[in-house]
Chains A and B, each alone.
Chain A
Amino acid sequence: QSVLTQPPSVSGAPGQRVTISCTGSSSNIVARYGVHWYQHLPGTAPKLLIYGNTNRPSGVPDRFSGSKSGTSASLAITGLQAEDEADYHCQSYDSSLSVVFGGGTKLTVL
């Protein structure tokens, strides 16, 4: 059981908006340490999408946005494109300051 819980899969049609949730099993994980998001296409290097809940590194399109509410964080993708089809992983820290990842969410663009 992951310390961070993500839905195994989400899907959407091109142009639509999808959201991926990341819920902490402990009430203070997301609140205390924040959540980061990575995009991963199989066979390639994972890519940082969002850091510190809401911040986008330079070069990441503004179609990608992050938010946090209570014990959960979310990644939203608007104007869905075929190239967005990938696995998305959230990351934070547990109470012993060990890195923890969610189980990952596979995004399918219909």
Chain B
Amino acid sequence: EVQLLESGGGLVQPGGSLRLSCAASGFTFSSYAMSWVRQAPGKGLEWVSAIVGSGGNTYYADSVKGRFTVSRDNSKNTLYLQMNSLRAEDTAIYYCAKESGDYGPNHFDYWGQGTLVTVSS
């Protein structure tokens, strides 16, 4: 059974940093691209970042480029999102999602329950 469990969310001041983690199990982690997707209060889903199975290629939405860094540790079956220079508009539930393949275009066949990030003073 595929399981994705996010952690690391919380309250942070504007300009601060936070590191999210996503522990994966139930599939060959290194064989699949992974993504982070967020949902701000009252808004739709927004794709944030993706990383291929080897970790060799990463992709970002324009809204987070230069501030967020996605990485993965295939030996620990864990996906990360380092978020720096956080802004109020980054407030959202952050989901990690398994992609249906390695290089895209893919769909997201499994999602985690999400972790809440609140950016506020």
Asked whether any CB of chain A lies closer than 8 Å to the CB of B76, the reply is no
Asked whether any CB of chain B lies closer than 8 Å to the CB of A24, the reply is no
- Inter-subunit contact B105/A97 (CB<8 Å): yes
- Inter-subunit contact B107/A104 (CB<8 Å): no
Q: How many residues of B contact A (CB 8 A)?
A: 24
Asked whether any CB of chain B lies closer than 8 Å to the CB of A21, the reply is no
Contacting residues, chain B, for A43 (C-beta < 8 A): 113
- Inter-subunit contact A91/B108 (CB<8 Å): yes
Q: Residue of B at shortest CB range from A103?
A: B44
Query: Quick one: which of A38, A40, A51, A98 contacts B59, CB cutoff 8 A?
Result: A98
Q: Residue of B at shortest CB range from A47?
A: B111
Segment 87-112 of B: residues with Cβ below 8 Å from A: 95, 97, 100, 104-105, 107-112
Nearest Cβ distance between residue A44 and chain B, in whole angstroms?
7
A55 to B70, CA, bound (A): 30
Asked whether any CB of chain A lies closer than 8 Å to the CB of B46, the reply is yes
- Inter-subunit contact B105/A98 (CB<8 Å): no
Residue in A98, A99, A102 whose Cβ sees the most chain B Cβ within 10 Å: A99
- Inter-subunit contact B47/A38 (CB<8 Å): no
A101 to B111, CA, bound (A): 15
Query: Quick one: which of A45, A48, A102, A103 contacts B107, CB cutoff 8 A?
Result: A48
- Inter-subunit contact A98/B111 (CB<8 Å): no
Asked whether any CB of chain A lies closer than 8 Å to the CB of B61, the reply is yes
- Given the interface pairs A48-B109, A93-B105, A97-B104, the reply to whether A2 lies near B114 with Cβ below 8 Å is no
Q: Residue of A at shortest CB range from B50?
A: A99
Nearest Cβ distance between residue A103 and chain B, in whole angstroms?
4
A34 to B104, CA, bound (A): 12
Q: Which residues of B contact A (CB under 8 A)?
A: 4, 35, 37, 43-47, 50, 59, 61, 95, 97, 100, 104-105, 107-114
What 3 pairs between A and B have smallest CB-CB spacing? Answer: A99-B47, A104-B44, A36-B107
Q: Which residues of A contact B (CB under 8 A)?
A: 2, 33-34, 36, 38, 40, 43-48, 51-52, 57, 89, 91, 93, 97-104
